[in-house]
Structure 1
Amino acid sequence: MKQHFEQIIDRKNTRAAKWDLVKQLYGSEDVLPMWVADMDFKVPQAVADALSERAKHGIFGYTMTDRELNKLVVDWVSYKHNWDINNNWLLYSPGVITTLHMAIQSLTEKGDKVMIQTPVYPPFYQIIQTHGRTLVTNELQLKAGKYEIDFADMEEKFKEGVKAFILCNPHNPVGRVWTKSELEKMISLCKKYHVFILADEIHADLVYEPYKHISIASLDEDILQQSITCMSPTKTFNLAGLQISYAIVANKEIRKQMEEMFHKQGINGMNTMGITALEAAYKEGKQWLTNLIEQLKINLDYVIERLYKRNDVNVIRPEGTYLVWLDFRALGISQDELKKFLQNEAKIGLNDGVSFGEEGTGFMRINIAAPFEIVKKGIDRLTNALDKQNKKEE
């Protein structure tokens, strides 16, 4: 199994956004892409086999979900997150972002205030602004290398009439896995000010010890009725292209509203291969996931070891996800200069920190979900370029 995560697979010319957009995004074919949040690892063999068998059947008509599939999801959520949910609470969707779009339209009106915690995943901004809602930000505070929530700011803004709050847990890009205490403070404020929670927990399965993911809706019965929790096997098992996710919606009336919005938008069926992959992954992917996290930990430790003592870049150590937030502010250069330096000198393609909000100025996000040799190559390129830059300045 270890060899499984060491294998370097050529993804070029497969319409892989990560690899086949390199020249378009970074101006050169020799830039190493370490940006978009998918993995350069093969899926579990059981998933590949299940997809192959389904393909051999040769008919790909309308595909339904059923109680057996629901039970697999219920069992997975219990196994991974110690949360016993009801299979009647499940709504399937092509993706978490699709679900959030439906939720914003179902549960808020134009002009309503919706809060996000910045810097944060770029589509959150689009979800709010596309539908004419008012964006409210609760800026996370970086203290001693770790991001914290400004609860005083959160409460002041809730007082001003925030209708909904999109929670990212584990947080993308800063890597926090919110603690029970932090979640309970959020719950208290959301209950006090009647704020609905939309929880994006797509990275929930990807957490490093000793940290533990806790679904916010599992902590409080009132919040269970006042929230939608979005999960998916796609980040966990590298299935993003198969487009399958689910939402946990305990409130019957809200579930009905969501179902009506999905139908209104013409989203009535799921991807046949996505369903097949979810079933195989949740049935037979547990050991693969354990091994994946071990490999990610090796990669992460290497990145931190190589960059830890440098004065020109600081690593914000993630508690979850395979995405690492890098702080380049010590370089003292503009964001445009930083982007040009990374793509032209270091020859690595990272996510621009500013795409996560203005709070990401001076930062970049790197994806470490790749064979160790690719991660090493990327970090070698980065450190060599930084060393050359430092010598020029001496």
Structure 2
Amino acid sequence: MKTYDFDRIVDRHGTNAVKYDALTDVFGRKELLPLWVADMDFATPDFILDALRRRLDHPVLGYTQLPDDYWPQIAAWIEARHGWRPDPAWMRFIPGIVKGIGMAVLALTRPGDKVVIQPPVYHPFRLVPEQMGRRVVCNPLRRTGDRYEMDFEQLEALLDDDCRLLLLSNPHNPAGIVWPEETLRRLAAICDRRGVVVVSDEIHCDMALYGHRHRPFASVSDAAAHCSVTFGAPTKTFNIAGVVSSYAIVPDEALRRRFFGWLEAGEFHEAPLLSAVATRAAFTPEGDAWRRQMLRYVEANVDFTDDFLRRYVPRIRAIRPEASFLVWLDCRKLGLAHDALVDLFVARAGLALNDGEMFGPGGEGHMRLNVGLPRIRLAEALERLRAAVDAR
């Protein structure tokens, strides 16, 4: 089996990479170590790049359709890793997960309807429906120690006839939670009973760590299958976010007609030429071998971060993720207000992270750290943080 080099430094400056080339626009300075945007600094695997190059050897880049084995290949990949085989008839291309959320909001709700989110959570969950004229209501996660749980009592009280959608982060971003099956079943029972559609963002599903197992929301019960729209993609796992290659899965026929009909009316379900090429190259045994090696490296980076902070910066605690390359940092023991905490990381440590407040209630005093990078760079970032905290 081929061994991949995740210690290799890849210079992304000048490639229009948001993570690097947007630093000045977002943080006001460019000389920062970027640990914010949720893509990895590992080279995209060679077998994907080779597949793209082979396709580009053909001199015509005209209109294309998805190959006949495209959806069966994705369904087989999901079954092999998550024990659920969706019917290809339930599946459609979408042009990105955030765009898919926007499309679900437009297709399944009306202006003024309520959309439920569970903060602290990925900030587009709030921004997209708000900007589309929907009312966002919060069902905040409950925290006990380093664990987060859903507050079902508050959810039951919150839901009314105006609630149409609940946006679920599964696995959870930024806390890295792999939701237990019983939690998902209970959520499905409540939402199905109250006529609420659950849009489950499962883009990190193939990145479960430390032996944890992802559970597709739609697979946990008949109620979940009845009320769910699931979004997935190979883009996070294989570091191909610049190649839009996402999909929706809708088991329920009536819901499928509503959502897929909306997609098809605007031809939003039509995949760009290179999307299928990259996805088919990723969802293969070779892709799975790369994925497993990448996850072991990410686990070692999480361990390195946790150990370093415990030893040298004990007032910052790493909440160890059960999935993904994102580490939720609890900085509350520093006793800093939001602006002072951001200043510590940006101006004093020279680091670019996502600040916790953008993830909504419960995110205060936290930062989100991307550890999907060579360890030498991660070590440099943590040493910078150590020095900045020690100098306070």
- TM-score w.r.t. the length of structure 2 is 0.95
Residues 86-125 of structure 1 aligned to structure 2 (within 5 Å):
86-125=87-126
- Give me the whole-angstrom Cα distance separating, in 1, the residues matched to 2:104 and 2:35: 31
Q: What's the CA shift string for 1:105-163, capped at 9, x where partnerless? A: 11112211111100111111122112221111111122111112111111111256522
Residues 237, 289 of structure 1: 8 Å contact kept: yes
Match of 1:392 in 2: none
Residues 275-354 of structure 1 aligned to structure 2 (within 5 Å):
275-283=276-284, 284-308=286-310, 310-354=313-357
- Give me the whole-angstrom Cα distance separating, in 2, the residues matched to 1:131 and 1:27: 29
Match among 381, 384, 387 for residue 387 of structure 2: 384
Equivalent position amino acid for 2:299 in 1: K
- Determine what percentage of the aligned residue pairs are the same residue: 34
Equivalent position amino acid for 1:226 in 2: C
**Tell me, what secondary structure is at the counterpart of 2:195?**
coil
CA pair 268-162 structure 1, distance change in 2 beyond 3 A: closer
Residues 36, 352 of structure 2: 8 Å contact kept: yes
Residues 67, 87 of structure 1: 8 Å contact kept: no
Q: Which has the larger displacement, 12-21 or 269-278?
A: 269-278
- Give me the whole-angstrom Cα distance separating, in 2, the residues matched to 1:189 and 1:159: 12
Equivalent position amino acid for 1:341 in 2: L
CA RMSD for the aligned pairs? 1.5
Shift of 1:334: 1.5
Equivalent position amino acid for 1:40 in 2: D
Equivalent position amino acid for 2:96 in 1: G
Q: What's the CA shift string for 1:31-73, capped at 9, x where partnerless? A: 1000000010112221111011111113211221133101111
2:376 paired with 1:356: no
Shift of 1:103: 1.2
2:170 paired with 1:153: no
Residues 1-394 of structure 1 aligned to structure 2 (within 5 Å):
2-159=3-160, 161-265=162-266, 267-283=268-284, 284-308=286-310, 310-389=313-392
Alignment length, in residue pairs?
389
Residues 115, 164 of structure 2: 8 Å contact kept: yes
Residues 62, 269 of structure 1: 8 Å contact kept: no
Q: What's the CA shift string for 1:280-322, capped at 9, x where partnerless? A: 0002301000000000000000000011254421211111111
Equivalent position amino acid for 2:366 in 1: F
**Tell me, what secondary structure is at the counterpart of 2:229?**
strand
**Tell me, what secondary structure is at the counterpart of 1:5?**
coil
- Give me the whole-angstrom Cα distance separating, in 2, the residues matched to 1:218 and 1:172: 20
- Give me the whole-angstrom Cα distance separating, in 2, the residues matched to 1:160 and 1:221: 22
Shift of 1:353: 1.1
Residues 169, 177 of structure 1: 8 Å contact kept: yes
- Give me the whole-angstrom Cα distance separating, in 1, the residues matched to 2:215 and 2:302: 22
- Give me the whole-angstrom Cα distance separating, in 2, the residues matched to 1:29 and 1:238: 23
- Give me the whole-angstrom Cα distance separating, in 1, the residues matched to 2:142 and 2:192: 23
Equivalent position amino acid for 1:336 in 2: D
CA pair 107-263 structure 1, distance change in 2 beyond 3 A: same
- Give me the whole-angstrom Cα distance separating, in 1, the residues matched to 2:266 and 2:34: 34
Equivalent position amino acid for 1:303 in 2: T
Residues 50, 277 of structure 1: 8 Å contact kept: yes
Residues 139, 154 of structure 2: 8 Å contact kept: yes
- Give me the whole-angstrom Cα distance separating, in 1, the residues matched to 2:150 and 2:250: 26
Equivalent position amino acid for 2:57 in 1: K
Residues 122, 357 of structure 1: 8 Å contact kept: yes
Shift of 1:10: 0.4
